[in-house]
Amino acid sequence: MCGIFGVIGQDTNAVQTTFNGLKDIEYRGYDSWGIASWNIEDGIWKIEKNTGFLPKIMDSRFRGNDGVGLAIGHTRWATHGGVTQINAHPHKDCSGKLVLVHNGIVENYLELKKTLKSHNLKSETDTEVIVHLIEEALKKNGLNQAVLNIFQKLRGLNAIVVSDGNEIIAAKVGSPLIAGVGNGKLFIASDPNALLPHTKKLVFLQDNQLIRLNKELELYNSLNSRKLQPIITTVPWEHSTSGLQKYKYFLEKEIYEQPKALRNIAQNAKEVEQVAGMIRKAYGTFFIACGSASYSCLLGVYLFSKIAKKHVNFSVGSEFNYIEDYIKPKSLVVAVSQSGESIDTLEPVLSAKKHGAKTVALVNVLGSTLYRSVDFPVLLRAGVEKAVCSTKALTAMFAHMVFLSYCLVGKRKTAQKIILESAREIESILKRRSAIKNLAGKIFHQKNIFILGRGLSYPVAMESSLKIKENAYIHAEGFAGGELKHGVIALIEKNTPVIVFVPEDETKQAILANAMEVKARGAFIIGVGPENNPVFDFFFKVRDVGASSVIPHPVFAQLLSYYLALKLGLNPDRPRNLAKSVVVR
């Protein structure tokens, strides 16, 4: 999603610092970028911004302002207005004295824009409206009060960072912002990891707070302008980095890192057993998540029923507020997220806490908003994930669902054993990846791909279809095996690829019958499982590891989507229109 980084103080190269900060968070996804630096001698802003991705290193475009001590930068994921240079942040006011960057959506921007008839707005964005409103408010107040007054008028979930060249002021509701206190320097960023190379003294802004960075750091309540005492937390975290090493793309690298992640998870019994104990005591457990994480929650519903004989509820995060009336003080809400910043997952957690429920997070990013918001955070231990499409974090989520379901019935060692077996089976799949690459070469021209699964394999089918859509831009749909014939079978034509997950469990015969139904309509059947069958036109063996078979099965689809993307000339790390975390509704 959109990223923010800024620095003020005794920094002889604030532009380089800001550039590095943006590079640190660019994996979250963006379509344009910009950096504004203040030239003290001339009293003007130098702004460089463009569509596409940041250059690999700072080049000649950034020269001429190397010695400045103030800069703010932004990576944009378009919401209002197309992907153009004019729409890229930072935005200036009419006087050229103010610059502003913004994460979020101003829901009432059209209403506010009507009050700016005398201003010259150049972009299509809601963001530019904010900086002109602050310019107008400056006629009556200083910058700090002007920003406070305008921020109160914005509806929606927003984080803004504005500067007049003398100070940086930032405020937030919803979207994350963290300040850093360094040696003679102050920082602001939307991701704590970007601050760790400079300082471990962080101030996590809460909703409806405004922070002023000048020679010192000042904190205010943005609703009533009351000054607050900032809480500076010295975090023990290390800066997370992840290079490509021998790989061409992060997606490929992260697929290969999955066995290591699973071995890390197998050693994490203490925290998992604590969560299992909380589920055991809860009066109703609700799993909430979005995207790939939501399929891990759906898998949890099946696993908890099959292994632990226990009912749990699941809701997509963005739909949770429509059923939250069920939440009681004895309820437990478990939020699952890679980034820990997706607003559709964060909002239900905050709602659940208002109902008095206990909250747990399975999250991959230490120090993320979700990690800090819940009563009991559990790290997924997948490591840094930079490709937009989730692979090893998804596998970690699946593994935690397996682990939790077995821990609920006192079978921790069984869970550890089959998770480790899954790691070994993934290593076997990776050694045989050439067969999947060849399959991609046969089906890359197809317009539709369907994926079938039953029982535990149904969430696998859903996740597999998402990977193909994300990476290859091919229409793919995952179905419970029996559902395809309730309408969608009308789309089956000669050679339409249909992937069928066939584990060695109670679903085997029924899912094979579904394969035969679509085969009779001309489909090209791709079988994935421990045993070949005459109905398959292509077979890829994945050894049976019991209930944990759901962990290696998605790896087949990950590799297939990766090779489809390469065959189609696409960048598998940065799919169009997508971001790593979604901080807007």
pLDDT digits (tens, 9 = 90+) for 1-55: 689 999 999 766 899 999 999 998 887 778 999 999 988 777 889 999 999 989 9
Active site residue 2: yes
Confidence of residue 159 (pLDDT cuts 50, 70, 90): very high
Verify that 435 and 523 share a domain, yes or no.
yes
Selection from 222, 194, 195 nearest residue 210 by Cα: 222
Query: pLDDT tens, 519-542?
Result: 999 999 999 999 999 999 999 999
Question: What pLDDT does 583 receive?
Answer: 56
Give the pLDDT confidence score for residue 224 in this predicted structure: 93
Residue 254 reports pLDDT greater than 90: yes
**Within 13 Å, how many C-alpha atoms sit on residue 247's CB side?**
17
293 and 184, same domain (yes or no): no
- Model confidence at 66, pLDDT cuts 50, 70, 90, reads low
Same domain, 35 and 107: yes
Strand blocks (E) in 354-512: 358-363, 376-379, 448-453, 475-480, 497-501
Span 487-519, pLDDT tens digits: 889 999 999 999 999 999 999 999 999 999 999
Shared-domain flag, residues 258 and 179: no
Burial of 295-330, coded b for 16+ CB within 10 Å and e otherwise, reads: bbbbbbbbbbeebbebebbbbbbbebeeebeebeee
What is the average per-residue pLDDT within 349-355?
Answer: 93
* Residue 225 and residue 273 in one domain: no
Least confident of 444-448, 466-470, 481-485, 548-552: 481-485
Query: How far is residue 191's CA from residue 182's CA, in Å, rounded to a whole number?
Result: 16
The arithmetic mean of pLDDT across residues 450-467, rounded, is: 98
Domain interval for residue 444: 250-567
Domain count, the chain: 2
In a domain, 226, yes or no: yes
Rounded distance between C-alpha atoms, residue 401 and residue 160, angstroms: 37
Same domain assignment for residues 179 and 273: no
Listed residues 203, 234, 265: the one ending a domain: 234
Say which CATH number the domain at 267 has.
Answer: 3.40.50.10490
Of 23, 92, 253, 580, the catalytic one is 580
> What is the predicted pLDDT for the residue at 581?
60
In a domain, 574, yes or no: no
What average pLDDT score do residues 367-386 get?
92
Domain-located, residue 27: yes
Alpha-carbon radius of gyration of the chain: 25
Give the H/E segment covering residue 314. Answer: strand 313-316
In the predicted structure, residue 58 carries a pLDDT above the cut 90: no
In which band, very low, low, confident or very high, does the pLDDT at 63 lie, cut at 50, 70 and 90? low
pLDDT at 95 over 90: yes
Say if CB 28 and CB 339 are below 8 A apart.
yes
Question: Among this protein's residues, is 201 annotated catalytic?
Answer: no
Coil, strand, or helix at residue 186? strand
Is residue 244 in some structural domain? no
Q: Residue range 172-182: average pLDDT?
A: 92
Residue 463 pLDDT more than 60? yes
Torsions phi, psi of 449, nearest 5?
A: -135, 130
Q: Which residue has the higher pLDDT, 326 or 501?
A: 501
Average pLDDT over residues 566-584: 82
What is the per-residue pLDDT for 576? 87
One-letter-per-residue 3-state SS of 537-570 = CEEEECCCCHHHHHCCHHHHHHHHHHHHHHHCCC
Q: Rounded CA gap, 288 and 290, in Å?
A: 7
The percent helix, strand, coil of the chain (3-state, each to 5) is 40, 20, 40
The answer as to whether 24 is a domain residue is: yes
Looking at the domain assignment, is residue 407 inside a domain?
yes
The answer to the question of residue 25 being in a domain is yes
* Residue 448 covered by a domain: yes
pLDDT of residue 240: 72
Instruction: Check whether residue 115 and residue 183 sit in a common domain.
Output: yes
Q: Please, what is the average pLDDT of the chain?
A: 93
pLDDT average, residue stretch 240-269: 91
pLDDT at 28: 74
Which of left, alpha, beta for 500 (phi over 0: left; psi -120 to 50: alpha)?
beta
Judged against a pLDDT cut of 80, whether residue 76 lies above it is answered with yes
Q: What CATH code is carried by the domain that includes residue 136?
A: 3.60.20.10
